[in-house]
Structure 1
Amino acid sequence: MGTQTPAAIRFASKVARFRCLDSVPDADEAQKQEIEVLESIYAESLQILSEEGERPMLLRVEVPVALDSGSVQLLIETAEGQVPAGSVEELPPCVLFIALPPHWPLAGPATAAMVLEAPHMGSSELEALECSLEDETKQESSVFDWVCKLQEHLHVEDQLLLSSEMFREDNPMEVAMTLLSHNQRANHERRQRENQVCPVCFDELPGSRGVFLSCGHFGCHDCLQQMARLYTSEGDVTALRCPVPDCRVPCFDADVLRQLLGSNSKLLEKWEELSLKHCLDSMEDVVYCPRCDLEGDGQRVPCIQDNEHMATCEVCGFTFCGKCRTVYHPGTECASVDDRLDALEARAAGIGPEAKAARAELLTLRHLAKTTKNCPKCNFGIEKSEGCSKVLCGNCKTHFCWRCGKTITGYDHFATSDCRLFDDDEIRRWNQRVHQVDKAQARAHEARFLAQFMDPERLREQSRECPRCRAAVLKESKNNHLRCYACMTQFCARCFEVLPKGKASEHFNKLRSCPQHSDE
């Protein structure tokens, strides 16, 4: 207990009256036995403040505060009225300081000095409770009975009003923060002790062996570490979300990632760079200087554009338009893509470094015009390599139609408009993948079917390796003319020569060639 607190001052004045009293014979031994009993009951909640043999004996006991409804709503009294500050499921314990007279517990009634300290109670309320407690315990000589009497008074209802009248020395706002922070620490310590279930691997383990995310959900260290490493390596920091299906909030903050990746790891540095880039890209007034990244080496310099889309690079001093990334042109509209391409083509026709840069930019613009479109909400560039026409922006998570650029939610847009969900190129890619899958499934089915009737070692002996795709091909009976069902290649089982289509029999009809039928 700090010596400057009001409770410390009150306790010091009460202890002073015991220092002039003489001890009673055999009192020391009785006190020692009584303290041993108290330590067995209260364990860590009991603390002896005085030195061994020092009189009077000073004790400190932490007494839990009971909540009648399981939680308490904190209200702060202000000039505008009562303001809710939050709710708590646990209040800090009430601390009881006791000064025992030298004759305790042998002679006469116990006139012990008691002082209370409780963060949720005001000074006047504490002093009144101290006087009431001392009056009730004058006929009792047991510290255990005193603590039980105190517990009868420590009940808090469903609301706790904090006002400046209650706390003359403290600000009610600071008192509320003290109570809320204690409740948060208590909940964290309780969760660390309790068993938790990882939503990824479903293992049950103590909370101290995992990580609690900022959303409150738990995950084991190994699973969350794999998630952090995977998405950070792939550069997709927006996918680092809570693994609980009903949550999925981005709750991997810097403290959690330091714990998972290591404070000095390269992956953590990469995550910080990607997070900063994502933050800048999501800001509508941030653009990048087109000259500082002229070589395309990734040295992008962020600049702030004003309401007129004018931005100035602090590195090279280039003033440009934030919309079209060309020289700032006040009062005139931005050049269209076709106009920019025509200008670049004229510059690319020359010689020198400027023409070389123009040719590189021209190729880039042509590629971007063919493969990318801008998000209708954040204007972020999106590249579509495959899939349906419903596209998700990786920056702002907005769904939009790839064909018309409109923001959509479900798939009704493709049923009520001229936009197609799948274009011809995607259907062609799908057919190619399905054809490859069909052949792979056929080979797997053939292998499973043959494995039911043949010994695996014998199956390996009767198989031949395709000279083109290296797939295993079963040699049926004595026929040396084999066909690989993976790549449709015809070859000889004896010499492994690839046989021409439609003329495979010529290989076996030649003199000194391989026989078409043999036991080997």
Structure 2
Amino acid sequence: WVQWLQNSLLSHLGFTDEIILSKGDLTCHEDGGDKRACRDDSAPDVIITRIMRYDDDKRHEAFLHDIHDCMICFSEFPGVDFVTLPCHHFFCRKCIQTYCKIHVKEGTVLKLTCPDTKCEGVVSPYILKTLLAEDEYERWEKLLLQRTLDAMNDLVYCPRCETACLEDESNDAVCPSCLFSFCTLCTSHRHVGKQCMTAEEKIRKLEERLKSRQERGDQNLTDEVLSLQAIMRDAKQCPRCKIAIYKISGCNKMTCSNCGHYFCYQCNFAIVGYEHFRPGACDLFSREEIRRWEARMNPGRGRVEDAPAPAPLPQGRYRHPCPTCGKGTPKIGNNNHISCGSCQTGFCALCRKTVHKTSQHFGPKGCKQHTADRD
């Protein structure tokens, strides 16, 4: 190969005479030398960039002289009659121009993408400016801006001057044009320290917004309305501050995130500790929560609903209520040290106190660890 490069390369490339790379400090473009030649002291990143640019230019030149098929009208045209999109799909100028004009006329500017059904590439503004008339291009800009603003969930319009404003988390906004501070729900002056409307009224207001945005397919607002409806149907109000609280999982002892008050999720009464959850009163854990917990602890048993029911306890066997959650748990044999199957609390069956260390609780000065239950 080295010998072939030395003796036959120039004739293979079509050169019969010597090649002058450059004259002095001038580049190959400045001194009229071969455009494919580079100076020996050029950096590799410069050489590679020049080679790639030269290759792209030659490919584009070959594309302009070749004959191609339009993917819309299936007609043959030379490359100079085609428009190439940023996604590298190309169509004849007449077809792509008609395609763009129709979308701008009908107002469907968000659907103005590559005509190829398997491609979602966009038509660049530079290409649109060469295909559309001046008034059509201005209409495209206005429609695109309006669609973009309408798609923003936190964007509202000032009730006085119709200027676009950003809505904050408390449903308030300040107009940047007239500086009017207003409530986005009732479009009146903002209510400092007061509640604008009830939760039911807020749902109705959001439903009205949803109807006005259905043509745009605002899925975020739809999810917000459905979430509010689900919360108002299943949530409980804090007995102190009346804020709505929705329980996802866990026990029925709830802590209000707003005021820190404790209350029972089952009866909605204010509580202090776990004494509220005693036998015959509210359950600390719902049956559904216990089934979920058992399914996580025993994944090999499959669905809990399909698992066989546990065998009933022998007649006369007593269930000792847990001091934490109130769930009744039988002893194992005569052992008074019981582990609650619901909350995993260890407690004594005789005094119903929580057992932290067996050696300290049971013994000569404490409770007896092994006794028989009374029938």
**TM-score grouping bracket, smaller chain normalisation:** 0.3 to 0.5
More strand per residue: 1 or 2? 1
